Amino acid sequence: MCTAATYKTKDFYMGRTLDYEFSYGEQITITPRNYEFDFRFAGKIKSHYALIGMAFVAEGYPLYYDAVNEKGLGMAGLNFVGNAAYEELCRKMKQKSARWHSSSSSHGSLHSVLL
């Protein structure tokens, strides 16, 4: 389980842990302003602020654990084991991705679905 803490004075501070027994290959990642994101369900986003945070990068695509944009908006994807049920989504995605997924591509894999 991940833990997050916030501290607010005249500024705002946020910290969190990645409480995993091993690394998933996360790294400090910077996404430049207006880097084109092509979301599976939301379509393409061509205009956005720059981001910096911790992410696993899959085929050049950042899957952020947490990040903050250049205007100060931050997010953290906290893992609360047992509090989310994705079985239905996973089943639907496997059915849809079976039509176009190839063994040489991870575009149909689950980790990119939840972006």
Catalytic residue positions, numbered: 2
- Please count the CA atoms within 13 angstroms of the CA of 110 that sit on its side-chain side: 9
Tell whether the torsion through CA atoms of 69, 77, 60 and 95 is positive or negative: negative
Are 14 and 76 in contact by the 8 Å Cβ rule? The answer is yes
Backbone angles phi, psi at 84, to 5 degrees: -130, 145
Are 6 and 14 in contact by the 8 Å Cβ rule? The answer is yes
In 3D, which of 70, 59, 5 has the Cα closest to residue 31? Answer: 70
